[in-house]
Amino acid sequence: MFNKIYDWVDERLDIAPIWRDIADHEVPEHVNPAHHFSAFVYCFGGLTFFITVIQILSGMFLTMYYVPDIVNAWESVYYLQNEVAFGQIVRGMHHWGASLVIVMMFLHTLRVFFQGAYKKPRELNWVVGVLIFFIMLALGLTGYLLPWDMKAVFATKVTLTIADSVPLIGPAIKTLIAGDPTIVGAQTLTRFFAIHVFFLPAALLGLIAAHFIMIRKQGISGPL
C-alpha cells in the first residue's frame, strides 16, 4: 500500500532524488555508538530535536482546549487536566518537556563548545544554535504564565521587573511584551500567548531549518 502511494507521488513530483539525497547521507564513524562509546555525546542534538517535536505536537493539542483570557485561562487548564481524555498525560509531557529540552540543549551546547565545533567553518551555525537556545528560553518564559495561577503571575512580575531594569530601553521592552506597563493582566496574558504560540515557534522553525541545512553542507564535526 505504501509503495503504491509512493510510486503515485513520485510519478508526479519526482521525489526519489530528494529522498535519496537525504537517506543516502553517510554518517561519520566517530558518531557511531557501536564503534565509539563517546559517540553518545553526539546524540544530544538529535534528542533535543526529538523533544522539540514532542513539544510542538503536545502544544498543538493543548491549544485546542486552552482559552487565553484571564477569566477562563485557569479553568480551561483545569478542564484539560481533569476532564479531557489523556489531557493530564499530554500536559505533563509539555510541562516536563519544557525543562528537559533546555537540559538537552545545554548538554549539546557544551559538547559543541568543548570539542571546538564552533570554529571555522561552523561559526555561523554556532550563532544560529545560540539563537535557538535563546528562543527556547523565551518559549519557557512565555509559557510559564499561560496556566494563570498565582505562581505564574508573580514569576512574570519578577521577569517584567528584570526587563524594566535594562538601561534606556527597559520600559519600552516591558510595555512591548506586557501590554500594560503597570499590571500583569489581560493584555499580558494575550501577548504572552501570541508570542508563545505564533512568533517564537515561527522563528524557531526557521532557525532549526537553517541549522540543519548548514549541518548538511558542512558535515558533522569530528572529535578534538
In this predicted model, what pLDDT tens digit does every residue of 38-75 receive, in sequence order? 678 888 999 999 999 999 999 999 999 999 999 999 99
Q: What is the DSSP letter of 26?
A: P
Is position 8 within any domain? no
User: Long-range contacts for 202-205 (Cβ within 8 Å, ≥24 apart)?
Assistant: 203/135, 204/52, 204/132, 204/135, 204/136, 204/139
Amino acid found at 119: K
Q: Which domain holds residue 146?
A: 29-115+126-218
Q: What is the CATH number of the domain that holds 130?
A: 1.20.810.10
* Domain contains 3: no
pTM of the entire predicted model: 0.89
**Displacement of CA 142 from its chain's centroid (Å):** 12
pLDDT at residue 224 tops 70: no
Q: For residue 54, how many other CB atoms are within 10 A of its CB?
A: 16
Asked if residue 13 is part of any domain, the answer here is: no
In a domain, 181, yes or no: yes
What rounded mean pLDDT belongs to the chain? Answer: 91
Answer whether residue 109 is part of any domain: yes
Specify the number of domains making up the chain.
Answer: 1
1: in domain: no
Whether the Cβ atoms of residue 152 and residue 179 lie closer than 8 Å to each other = no
Q: What percent of the chain has pLDDT over 90?
A: 71
The pLDDT assigned to 135 comes to 98
Query: 138 in a domain, yes or no?
Result: yes
Residue 34 pLDDT greater than 70, yes or no: no
In a domain, 86, yes or no: yes
How confident is the model over 149-170, as pLDDT tens digits? 999 999 999 999 999 999 999 9
Per-residue pLDDT at 17: 78
Q: How much is the average pLDDT of 25-41?
A: 71
